[in-house]
């Protein structure tokens, strides 16, 4: 198949269909509405369950049920909806139920604004847990990551979050669906699935775990599963780190702006670049490779108070100052804001 022009949100839906999604449950919210609209159109023709739910709360709990039933299942939403889903996501992380959740991020806090944003980095909820979070940087990568998210979810039996900012959801770009990653082989069976005793020949009791089972469970996750995910699924793009004077670290749409900004600035200073492609596991390695000449790390993010920057600071471990570049009173961060901030720094060094 040749390259076709596709809107980001529709790419999410098409990639999910190609990954063999069995069911989608979701509630309308801007800026991700083309995801359910596309699936509502296509799933009756191509197979699978599409259901518009009464709320994100109900939607994610249907996802939980369908996942428990052994299905490949997904939902999509944006920040306010993701908040409503956190209890169930946290529970699915504990119960080890696979699912794909796509967050087409808009700006908050609260109901916020419909403008694109990078603000849901710190996926939270109650309890200590981690789930893989993928950070697509363009529409092709959005297709690839949504497709692969289903395999990652099944391989480690975990919910997986794809964090796509509103810009990516709403933009059209060429995409080639022949370039999707290979389907992973030897994915584990789901012997725990809810399917009735008659179908499996044994009984499944899928419950909240209390007391000792809980600590045994979380211990196993921390000591067995987490290291595997960190070793196998950490992703990033990086260049120019060893002799960099300044490093710019950014993900998603702001990474594209940052690349443009670095090109634009005329200076003798050398810029290195890091683009995390997973928020968890966070790629510490490229930050450890930053050479001794580096004097500063900049983190442009489309938000007011930096979020990724905290992970960057942990990775940099105090070796150099880390600065936030973000939204201004005039609106969401754009390339000019990054250029201005970097130029101010460059000129400051020159003095």
Partner 1 sequence: MSIVYERAKSLTPVDFTYCPGCGHGIATNLVAKVIDELGIQNDTISVSSVGCGGMNPMFFDTDTIIPMHGRAPATATGIKRIHPDKIVWTYQGDGDLASIGTAEIVHAAHRGEKITTVFINNTTYGMTGGQMAPTTLVGQKTTTSPYGRDESHCGKPIRMSELLATIEGAKFIARVAIDTPAHIRQAQKMIKRAFECQMKGLGFAMVEVLSTCPTNWGMTPTESMKWQTEHMIPYYPLGIYKDFE
DSSP calls for 32-79: -THHHHHHHHHHHHH-SEEEE-SSHHHHHHHHHHHHHTT--EEEEE-H
**C-beta of 124 vs 328, nearer to partner 1:** 124
- Reduced to 3 states (helix: H, G, I; strand: E, B; else coil), residue 122 is coil
- Interatomic CA distance for residues 295 and 239, integer angstroms: 16
CB of 221 to partner 1, least distance (A): 19
**C-beta of 150 vs 236, nearer to partner 1:** 150
CB of 43 to partner 1, least distance (A): 12
CB of 224 to partner 1, least distance (A): 24
Residue whose structure tokens are 């949100």:
9
**C-beta of 35 vs 71, nearer to partner 1:** 71
CB of 73 to partner 1, least distance (A): 7
**C-beta of 106 vs 190, nearer to partner 1:** 190
Residues near partner 1 (CB under 8 A) are 22-23, 25, 49, 51, 53-55, 57-59, 61-71, 73, 87-88, 91, 194-200, 203-208
User: By the 8 A CB rule, do 262 and 297 touch?
Assistant: no
Going from the C-alpha of 286 to that of each of 21, 198, 236, 274, the distances in angstroms are 34, 52, 8, 7
User: By the 8 A CB rule, do 324 and 301 touch?
Assistant: yes
Phi, psi of 216 (to 5 degrees): -65, -40
- Reduced to 3 states (helix: H, G, I; strand: E, B; else coil), residue 295 is coil
The verdict on whether omega for the bond into residue 233 sits within 30 degrees of 0, i.e. cis, is: no
User: By the 8 A CB rule, do 173 and 5 touch?
Assistant: yes
**C-beta of 8 vs 59, nearer to partner 1:** 59
CB of 25 to partner 1, least distance (A): 7
**C-beta of 172 vs 214, nearer to partner 1:** 214
User: By the 8 A CB rule, do 20 and 150 touch?
Assistant: yes
CB of 123 to partner 1, least distance (A): 17
Q: Please, what is the end-to-end C-alpha distance for the chain in angstroms?
A: 54
- Torsional class of 130: left (φ above 0), alpha (ψ -120 to 50), beta (otherwise): beta
- Reduced to 3 states (helix: H, G, I; strand: E, B; else coil), residue 329 is coil
CB of 33 to partner 1, least distance (A): 20
CB of 194 to partner 1, least distance (A): 5
**C-beta of 25 vs 147, nearer to partner 1:** 25
**C-beta of 193 vs 270, nearer to partner 1:** 193
CB of 180 to partner 1, least distance (A): 25
**C-beta of 200 vs 313, nearer to partner 1:** 200
User: By the 8 A CB rule, do 2 and 66 touch?
Assistant: no
Tokens linked to 180: 């999707």
Residue whose structure tokens are 């201005």:
340
The residues that bridge with 247 in the sheet, in sequence order, are: 272, 297
């Amino acid at each position: 198949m040749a390259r076709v022009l596709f809107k980001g949100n529709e790419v999410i839906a098409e990639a999910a269909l190609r990954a063999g999604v069995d069911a989608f449950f979701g509630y309308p919210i801007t800026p991700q509405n083309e995801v359910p609209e596309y699936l509502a159109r296509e799933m009756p023709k191509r197979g699978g369950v599409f259901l518009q739910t009464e709320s994100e709360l109900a939607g994610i709990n249907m996802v939980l049920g369908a996942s428990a039933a052994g299905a490949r299942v997904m939902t999509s939403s944006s920040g306010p909806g993701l908040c409503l889903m956190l209890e169930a996501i946290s529970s699915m992380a504990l119960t080890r139920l696979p699912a794909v959740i796509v967050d087409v991020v808009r700006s908050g806090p609260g109901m916020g604004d419909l403008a694109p944003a990078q603000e849901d980095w710190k996926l939270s909820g109650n309890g200590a847990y981690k789930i893989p979070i993928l950070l697509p940087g363009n529409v092709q990568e959005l297709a690839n990551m949504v497709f692969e998210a289903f395999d990652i979810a099944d391989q480690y039996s975990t919910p997986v979050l794809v964090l796509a900012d509103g810009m990516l959801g709403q933009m059209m770009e060429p995409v080639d669906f022949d370039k999707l990653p290979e389907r992973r082989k030897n994915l584990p069976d789901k012997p725990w699935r809810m399917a009735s005793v008659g179908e499996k020949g044994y009984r499944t009791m899928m419950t909240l775990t209390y007391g000792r089972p809980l600590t045994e469970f979380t211990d196993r996750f921390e000591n067995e599963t987490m290291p595997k995910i960190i070793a196998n699924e950490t992703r990033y793009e990086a260049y120019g780190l060893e002799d960099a004077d300044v490093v710019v670290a950014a993900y998603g749409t702001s990474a594209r702006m940052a690349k443009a900004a670095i090109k634009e600035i005329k200076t003798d200073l050398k810029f290195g670049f890091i683009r995390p492609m997973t928020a968890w596991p966070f790629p510490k390695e490229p930050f450890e490779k930053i050479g001794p000449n580096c004097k500063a790390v900049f983190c442009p993010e489309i938000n007011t108070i930096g979020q990724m920057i905290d992970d960057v600071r942990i990775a940099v471990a105090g070796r150099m100052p880390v600065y936030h570049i973000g939204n201004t009173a005039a609106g969401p961060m754009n390339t000019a804001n990054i250029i201005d901030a970097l130029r101010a720094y460059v000129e400051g060094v020159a003095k």
